[in-house]
Amino acid sequence: MQDSAVGAEGLAFAGVQNEKAAMSHASNIVFCDGPDSPHAFDVVPLQPRNGSLDAMCPVCKGRGQWNTEIDLVSFRCKRMACDRCHGAGWVETGTDPVGLPDIEVSPEGYPRWTIRFEPSDTDVKVDPAQPGLAKT
């Protein structure tokens, strides 16, 4: 015995269709050229300070990322990670190298996690033509 509410006949009778209706909504999409754009940091929270890093990143101002595109009505956005702080929002001000998670290929040919160390004194300039891609 088949329940009519669960069977295909019940779905057709209840008015459920397999077609998806397009849902339109108002939008006001703004494109940001980099962290200096007016809406670059809208709804982007500050990152918590990691104990090993000393100061807020001068590029992203402690946020680790910025909007490359944002809808000012729904606040949906596309974001780009900061190349100066690698998304941490904080930078090392001393001479200590900064450890970053990375993936490398093992001698057996398999990927594995590792820590990559970079110098802390790298100066990064954002290219407005390609936000998120840095010129060091």
Residue 40 lies inside a defined structural domain of this protein: yes
Q: What pLDDT sits at residue 134?
A: 46
Residue 28 lies inside a defined structural domain of this protein: yes
Residue 30 lies inside a defined structural domain of this protein: yes
Q: What pLDDT sits at residue 65?
A: 94
Q: What pLDDT sits at residue 24?
A: 72
Cα distances from 48 to residues 40, 81, 95, 102, in angstroms, run: 19, 15, 22, 21
Question: Strand 77-81 and strand 111-118: pairing?
Answer: unpaired
Q: Cα 75 vs. chain centroid, distance in angstroms?
A: 14
Residue 114 lies inside a defined structural domain of this protein: yes
> φ, ψ for residue 107 (rounded to 5)?
-60, -25
What range defines the domain where residue 48 resides?
Answer: 23-135
67 CB-side CA count, 13 A: 20
Per-residue pLDDT of the chain (136 residues; tens, 9 = 90+): 444 444 544 444 444 555 555 667 788 999 999 899 999 999 999 998 877 778 899 999 999 999 999 999 999 999 999 988 888 898 888 777 877 788 899 999 999 999 888 777 655 455 556 555 444 4
Residue 15 lies inside a defined structural domain of this protein: no
Domain total of the chain: 1
Q: What pLDDT sits at residue 44?
A: 93
Residue 76 lies inside a defined structural domain of this protein: yes
